[in-house]
Structure formats: structure tokens, C-alpha cells
Amino acid sequence: MPAEISVGIHDLSFRTTSFVLPHTELARYNGTDVAKYHKGLGQLSMSVPAVDEDIVTLAAAAALPLVQHHGADTIRTVVLATESSIDQSKAAGVYVHSLLGLPSQIRVIEVKQACYGATAALQFAAALVHQDPAQRVLVIASDISRYDLDSPGEATQGAAAAAMLVSADPALLELSGTSGLFTADVMDFWRPNYRATALVDGKKSVAAYLEAVQSTWRDYVLRGGLPLEEFRTFCYHQPYTRMAFKAHQALLEECGVHTNEETLHKAVGTTTVYNKVVGNSYTASLYLALAAALDNCHDLDGETLGLFSYGSGSVAEFIAARVRPGYRSHLRAGEHRESVNSRQTVDYETYRELSCQALPTDGNTYELPHQTRGPFRLAALRDHQRIYEASS
């Protein structure tokens, strides 16, 4: 195997839900000044799943364009990263494998570490391709973030899936060199098995996130990483988009660089285009930020991007990646904007009704109403089994 082989993201696609709740509606309901959401959090709206949408239907919808365009013959592995899994045993990616009609000669696994999971999946995929450059790996990040209604975290909810085809000689982004790592045992955000919604200590979570930013950068530099000035844009995991600005300020302070709002916006502003209207999509969030940077910057050929991945609990990684020349001809910007812009706006009462609908757990047969506008749906529950189908 040639030592100089380049490996990275060959194609990238994301999809979100069928419904959207504007934060003006949330503010109308609870009497909050909407500026708390628009400016304080940097959020304008949040994606809301239909009754027949879940992480499987979102994942399959995100991956479908990649399989249709590139075929499945060279895909040898599917890795689905999520922290809102639907089963304690069976990998959600197996359902996706079936919906996409992928060949049997494929390994499928699910990985978990809060919002960091997709980056672990990406690194696993890159290692497989380094081992066998003829194969490709389909990495999917899919999540629906849920917090208790009327809780501080409610305004940051969201849902999306991002799919990446990892290959040798990638068309979009080449993973380059070393990465910086950091792990700390901290209870900043977690969801026990018996809860449908997450628990979070907001102040502790922000502090843990910022410590991870600085710690991964230190590790990256110690391992011979590129200097700060080599990076054109930084993509951060965005539990809410203002967090990306706080994160970059912490990184610049670690480097001893004076900063202001203009400097921060130049570095990360473009990366918030999708997340600010989708909300927190957990594992997919960083890769929606990456998609936003690629789709909305017109001169990234050959430039280096910094990717910071954080998963509460906590595990974090800083990665450098170089944008490949000619990347713009391989983007799916129109599809991404259509996924965001085609969502049906709901009022707060409809959103609350959707949020309170829990799937039955008694093992009887239930047919679910057809609400999704996506290509796949959760059609029924039967004998404790989820039944999926293509939408007609």
C-alpha cells in the first residue's frame, strides 16, 4: 500500500425532518423575548420529526443520494453513529442497509459516544480505507435531540442525519495528519436508559466543552499539527450556534490571539447556516457545519479546515482536513437547501402534540399515520418490531 494515499470524504449529504417550529412560536408560547433565542443561542428554528420519522428514516434519506450516485459495489462497511438509538442490541444501520437495498457482503455497526460518535466512525472508516484503498465506507450520523418540554434545553432541540462516503482519493475533503484528543469523566449531559429525554447541566456542559477545545488543540500542537494561521475556517459541533463562536474564542485565547466579533464571524459564521435553522442534531451537527462551509464558501480549493468534535461525558477530537481542488462540482448545496426549505411550519400546539406522542410498547400491532415527506417511513409496530417502508 502506498504511504502517500489520501483518504477522506468523497461525498456528503444531509437530510432533516418534515416539520419545523420557528423560535418565534416558542417565544409566543412561553412569553420569552425571542432575542434570547435568536441572539443568545443563535437559533432561528428547530426541526421537528413527524410521527413516522426516526433516526432510521432520516439516515436512509441522507444516504440514498450517495448510493444512487456512486452505487453500492465498493461499499464494504456501514457505520451509523447515534445517541438516540432505537434498540439496545440491533444496529440501526441494519434497517438502513435493508431500505437502501445494499448487498449482503457488508459489515454494519452502530457506534456511540454522545455527539462525538460520528467522528469516531469517520476515523474508523478512514482506517479501513487505508487498509484497503479499493473499498468505500458509508458513515451516517443520525439523531433526534429531545429535552423535557418547558425546560431550558427545549429551544436547542433539532433533528437531522448526515451521510458521508469515505474513500481513497476523495473528491471533497482529505483528512490530513494527526489529530488532537481529549477525554474527561464529566456528567454534563446524559440520558439514562429509562428516559426518553436528556438531562443536562448547562453551565457544566459549556465549561466542559471549552476545556475540550483547548485541550484537543494542545494535544494537536504537541503532535506536530499545523499552526493556527494555516487554517481557513473552523467547523465546530454546535449544540446551539453561538457555542461555535464561544469555542473559537477559547481556541484563539489558547493561542494567545486577540479576538473580536468580526474575527469570530469570519472564521465560523458561514458554518452556522444550517444548524441555526435545524437545531441540535447531536452526531450530525458538526457535519452540517461542514456542509454549510463547503456549500456557502466559494474559494476553499486547497484550503485547510479545522473540525472540532465534542461528545458530552466527555470525548473530543480536533482534526485538520484539506479541501480538494474542484470540490464545488461535487457539492449537494441545492439538495441541502431544499431539505431545509421544504419543511412544513407548525405552530407550538402542533409541535407539543407531536412531542408528546410516544410509540406504544405493548407489542401489539399499530399502523402509523403517513406524515413524512421523506423517501422512507416507519410504517408500523408489530410484535415489538419496527416496520419500515419506502414512502409512496
Among candidate residues 10, 25, 53, 83, the one labeled active-site is 83
Among candidate residues 237, 248, 317, 336, the one labeled active-site is 237
What does the block give as the cell for 352?
A: 407539543
Q: Give the β-pairing of 45-48 and 19-22.
A: antiparallel
Active site residue 115: yes
Q: E-strand spans in 17-55?
A: 19-22, 45-48
**Which residue has cell 472564521?**
267
What's the Cα-to-Cα distance from 348 to each of 22, 36, 90, 106, 155, rounded to whole Å? 9, 17, 34, 43, 12
* Omega prior to 309 cis, within 30 of 0: no
What does the block give as the cell for 387?
A: 416496520
What's the Cα-to-Cα distance from 359 to each of 54, 158, 177, 356, 380, rounded to whole Å? 11, 19, 45, 10, 10
Active site residue 298: no
Q: Do the beta carbons of residue 322 and residue 176 sit within 8 Å?
A: yes
Active site residue 83: yes
Q: How far apart are CA 246 and CA 265, in angstroms?
A: 11
Q: How far apart are CA 159 and CA 15, in angstroms?
A: 9
Triad 358, 363, 366: Cα angle to 5°: 60
- Number of CB atoms found within 10 A of residue 309's CB: 28
DSSP one-letter string for 219-256: HHHHTTPPPGGGEEEEEE--SSTHHHHHHHHHHHHHTT
Q: In sequence order, what are the residues at sequence separation of 6 or more whose Cβ sits closer than 8 angstroms to the Cβ of residue 87?
A: none
Q: How far apart are CA 84 and CA 57, in angstroms?
A: 13
Among candidate residues 97, 115, 235, 248, the one labeled active-site is 115
What's the Cα-to-Cα distance from 137 to each of 175, 257, 318, rounded to whole Å? 14, 38, 21
Alpha helices in the chain (DSSP H): 23-30, 35, 55-70, 92-99, 117-131, 202-222, 242-254, 261-268, 275-278, 285-296, 333-341, 348-356
Q: What amino acid positions are annotated as catalytic residues?
A: 83, 115, 237
